[in-house]
Amino acid sequence: ADLGTLTYDQIKDTGLANKCLSLKESARGTIPLEAGKKYALTDLCLEPQEFFVKEEPGNKRQKAEFVPGKVLTRYTSSLDQVYGDLALKADGTVSFTEKGGIDFQAITVLLPGGEEVPFLFTVKGLVASTSEPATSINTSTDLRGGYRVPSYRTSNFLDPKARGLTTGYESAVAIPSAGDAEDLTKENVKRFVTGQGEISLAVSKVDGATGEVAGVFTAIQPSDTDMGGKEAVDVKLVGQFYGRIEPADA
């Protein structure tokens, strides 16, 4: 459906607001890029549809593998209005540099065993490039690159014992004798753990007339660490993306 023609009431409470725009199957054009010219990728929307969490094996003979999970925050999982620069680099490859937008979303995934895995889905600071030199964006363009995954909680967050990073108590004050217990250090001293994610954007539909592109993305990034209290696990997201390429002014 064309979201642009719907009213607020038609979208409210339906989950449609979490959907990205899509292109018709017939959109198989190209968007030529000229060296030296500046372009912008705007209104980039990333809608994750499948969620996987890497699970350590139960015994040595098995390998760690991604287990599918069910998303619990299903109306608030898409990134939208993400924008940044798109340019041909000196070596001829196409590169996208993320600058801003609604570029993070706190998501929780439920695993088959009942465990809930929270993580901050984001593309902050993404720099994604093609592996080969290219002169256009077409239906076989692949952009791949890394991005920054900030902590799920920011520094002012207080845990259930009112301990925090920039504020709050330094230990669980209801058990004074355990205030400096070494096995509680990880819980008492909060850390802001920034991780690194990786995403690949596979363009599969291009409308050369409007500059719209759409396709499939796969992202792998670390989960929440509870402010350094536990190990992050890898989360994999697969979904649809949509964006618009336009010449940048200047």
Partner 1 sequence: LSLQSPLLAVAEAEIRNEADAQRIEAGGKLDLNNIGVRAFQQFPGMYPYLASKIVLGGPYDSVDDVLKLDLSDRQREVFEQYKENFTVTPPRDALNEGDDRINNGIYR
**Binding of partner 1 at residue 140 (CB under 8 A)?**
no
Q: Tell me the pairing of strands 94-102 and 79-88.
A: antiparallel
Residue 238 token pair: 């697969």
Here's the x/- map for partner 1, 5-44, by CB under 8 A: it reads as ----------------------------------------
The CA distances from residue 7 to 2, 4, 16, 21, 76, in Å, are: 11, 8, 11, 15, 19
Using CB under 8 A, which of the segments 13-21, 148-156, 207-215, 241-249 binds partner 1? 148-156
Among 33, 186, 202, 238, binds partner 1 (CB under 8 A): 186
| Positive or negative: CA dihedral 88, 91, 95, 99 | negative
Among 10, 62, 140, 166, binds partner 1 (CB under 8 A): 166
CB 154, min distance to partner 1, A: 4
Q: Which CB atom, from 140 or from 167, has the smaller least distance to partner 1?
A: 167
| 159 three-state secondary structure | coil
**Binding of partner 1 at residue 62 (CB under 8 A)?**
no
Cα–Cα distance measured from residue 238 to residue 218, given in angstroms and rounded to the nearest whole number: 5
- CA triplet 56, 62, 63: central angle to 5 degrees? 60
Contacting partner 1 within 80-139 (CB under 8 A): 125
> What's at 164, amino acid-wise?
G
Q: Which CB atom, from 135 or from 166, has the smaller least distance to partner 1?
A: 166
Q: Which residues bind partner 1 (CB under 8 A)?
A: 125, 148, 150-151, 154-156, 165-167, 185-186, 189-196, 222, 228, 231-232
